């Protein structure tokens, strides 16, 4: 892993709140038919959710431009269900691959693309939320 930023573990809530804001924006964009924005917000939701989780668990987050590094950091953080975390990492890789299309490519994303991004986001986000709730409850 290249660049890491050390962050006090109690600051995870900042990233969690940010993830929830992107999640709301994702749903709003979807309802309006703004599928590029929906997909972009899905990606940013999960980047922030992973940041929240890794800050909570490790006191670190990735600070590199290539967001694929967050997958490595997520793999390092311990979860109550390691098999589910592995599945979340696979979904995260797929969702991150949609980022440049949503933000920089010369084609618009379709409703089908946005549906896929939302589904991936929901699965990863709900897993990370559950894991953070378990940690808050004293289960690591």
Q: Indicate whether 1 pLDDT > 60.
A: no
Q: How confident is the model at residue 140 (pLDDT cuts 50, 70, 90)?
A: low
pLDDT mean over 115-130: 98
pLDDT tens by residue, 27-43: 999 999 999 999 999 99
Tell me, what's the pLDDT at 139? 62
C-alpha 3/C-alpha 40 separation (Å) is: 24
> Could you list the residue range(s) of the whole structural domain that residue 61 is in?
4-136
CATH classification of the domain holding 32: 1.20.120.330
Burial of 35 (0-12, 13-18, 19+ CB in 10 A): buried
Tell me, what's the pLDDT at 85? 97
C-alpha 19/C-alpha 38 separation (Å) is: 14
Q: Indicate whether 123 pLDDT > 80.
A: yes
- What is the tally of structural domains in the chain? 1
Sign of the torsion angle spanned by Cα atoms 34, 36, 42, 45 = negative
Burial of 20 (0-12, 13-18, 19+ CB in 10 A): middle
pLDDT tens by residue, 62-117: 887 777 789 999 999 999 999 999 999 999 999 999 988 888 888 889 999 999 99
């Amino acid at each position: 892993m290249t660049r890491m930023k050390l962050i006090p573990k109690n600051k995870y809530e900042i990233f969690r709140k940010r993830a929830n804001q992107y999640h709301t924006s994702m749903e709003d964009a979807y309802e309006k038919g703004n599928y590029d924005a929906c997909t972009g917000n899905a990606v940013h939701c999960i980047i922030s959710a992973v940041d929240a989780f890794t800050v909570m668990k490790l006191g670190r987050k990735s600070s590199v431009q290539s967001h694929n590094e967050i997958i490595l950091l997520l793999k390092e953080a311990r979860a109550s269900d390691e098999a589910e975390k592995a599945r979340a990492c696979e979904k995260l890789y797929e969702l991150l691959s949609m980022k440049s299309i949503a933000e920089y490519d010369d084609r618009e994303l379709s409703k089908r693309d946005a549906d896929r991004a939302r589904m991936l986001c929901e699965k990863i986000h709900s897993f990370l939320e559950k894991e953070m709730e378990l940690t808050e409850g004293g289960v690591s």
